[in-house]
Structure 1
Amino acid sequence: MRRAHYRFEHSWLVDAGADAVLALLEDVGGYGRWWPGVRATGSRAAPGAREAALVVRAPLGYRIRFALREAGRTADELRATMSGDLAGSCSWRVRPEAGGTRVHFEQEVEAKAPLLRLASLLLHRALAAQHALVMRRAARGMRRALADSRSSGNRGMVAGWLTASSSGTHPGRPTAHSSRSASAPSSSRQSPPASPAPRSSTPSSTGPTSPGCTST
């Protein structure tokens, strides 16, 4: 049934390095954290054999369930096979470009779920349009996730410097106290031991205190 066959291509630009984009895409079990409408119900993160069971909610409300399995990786491309309500393959390619990284997604699948195959007979174009909306969500979510990751890294660096500044220290710079301590000569003359205090026969007027407690 040719109307149950779909081929998609989508492309967008993100303000991030290619390595950061690939790291985000390799974590297939984490797609639901940044891709609206996508939820992972199980995943395995073994390098070279990553896979995840995903549920995708289309804007119209219907859900598509499938398994995504890693099928190959190069320096700029990730490939995966799909099985379930949709069967086929997809790939992500990244390419450095002025202003960031170009992300290119391709997918070629066949609808396998009976209701989806039936709907494809009458609503092929409408279902393809739903897929385009899902990928727009992906582009927005990816940009937001990469921006948040970059901001978190910057905040961590700033917090480290603020902490060092408030304590009067900086990485790699000795403190004035440590410098004086190192340069001050130690005295070889010792004070004579103090004479023991005479024992008083008058009992103390305060009761005993327990360790770690403060009497009021």
Structure 2
Amino acid sequence: MARERIPSKSKEKIMNKIIAQAALSGAEKTAAYRFQTVWWTPAAVERVWETLAHYSAWTTWWRGIRKVEVVRQGDESGIGTILRQGWRSWIPYTLIFDLEMIRLESKRLLEGRASGDLEGICKWTFTPVNGGTEIRFDVDVRTGRWWMNLPIPFAPRIVRANFETIMRWGREGLERKLGAPVKLRPPLL
């Protein structure tokens, strides 16, 4: 059975109606999300830092990260570097956002300002703990697209589950990359 094609004019009218309904429903407001993931590994902070500070290699070991490309090179310390990233889990959409590095402290901190599908701050903190390394990833973002802000009651649960999936895949990939266990710890929030 052939699918019926919708004429372009009709598609445009349908899309305009959806946009108008979204605006009336409050979708112009952005949804805010705060997440924290805390891991611990017996690997030395230097090894963990080398792995996570080498952003362009994330796609080789972190399932769900589809791309990391340098859009703009920053100064010699890395401040000002802009990375275009694509993250996707089981939701059939790849989040695309730029991350501008705003703070870097060798073997201690990576912090960036996100813009695009996500807008806000993402921060990695590395702390030597119990002969290994505690890795903390703090995310404080808002969604950057109107359709992500539709007032759907279960949307926050979906977003949280999506984030947790990506982070689980990252932990599993980091274990393989380091050749050492990476354990999930309860968030500090």
Q: TM-score, normalised by structure 2?
A: 0.70
Larger Rg: 1
Q: Does 1:54 align with 2:68?
A: no
Conservation of the 8 A alpha-carbon contact between 2:47 and 2:178:
yes
Count of aligned residue pairs for this structure pair: 148
Give the C-alpha shift of residue 2 in structure 1.
Answer: 7.2
Q: Does 1:71 align with 2:102?
A: yes
Q: Does 1:19 align with 2:51?
A: no
Partner Cα distance (1:14, 1:143) in 2: 8
Conservation of the 8 A alpha-carbon contact between 2:29 and 2:149:
no
* Corresponding residue for residue 137 of structure 1: 169
Q: 1:116 to 1:82 in 2, by over 3 A?
A: same
Conservation of the 8 A alpha-carbon contact between 2:114 and 2:122:
yes
Q: 1:132 to 1:119 in 2, by over 3 A?
A: farther
* Corresponding residue for residue 178 of structure 1: none
SS at structure 1 position matched to 2:43: coil
Q: Which has the higher contact order (CA 8 A, sep 6+)?
A: 2
Q: 1:117 to 1:142 in 2, by over 3 A?
A: same
Q: 1:14-163 counterparts in 2 under 5 A?
A: 14-40=41-67, 42-43=69-70, 44=72, 46=74, 47-48=77-78, 49-75=80-106, 76-118=108-150, 122-147=154-179
Letter of the structure 1 residue corresponding to residue 45 of structure 2 = A
Conservation of the 8 A alpha-carbon contact between 1:86 and 1:110:
yes
Report the identity percentage: 27
Q: 1:121 to 1:61 in 2, by over 3 A?
A: same
Give the C-alpha shift of residue 119 in structure 1.
Answer: 6.4
Partner Cα distance (2:102, 2:151) in 1: 29
* Gapped regions of structure 1 (runs ≥ 5): 149-216
Q: TM-score, normalised by structure 1?
A: 0.62
Deviations 1:7-54 (A, max 9, x none): 000011123111111122222222212210102252155542333111
SS at structure 2 position matched to 1:60: coil
Q: 1:41 to 1:139 in 2, by over 3 A?
A: closer
SS at structure 1 position matched to 2:179: helix
Conservation of the 8 A alpha-carbon contact between 1:4 and 1:121:
no
Task: Give the number of the structure whose residues are more often helix, by fraction.
Answer: 1
Partner Cα distance (2:86, 2:151) in 1: 18
Letter of the structure 2 residue corresponding to residue 38 of structure 1 = I
Partner Cα distance (1:139, 1:41) in 2: 18
Q: CA RMSD in A?
A: 2.2
Partner Cα distance (1:120, 1:33) in 2: 34
Letter of the structure 2 residue corresponding to residue 124 of structure 1 = P
Partner Cα distance (1:55, 1:70) in 2: 16
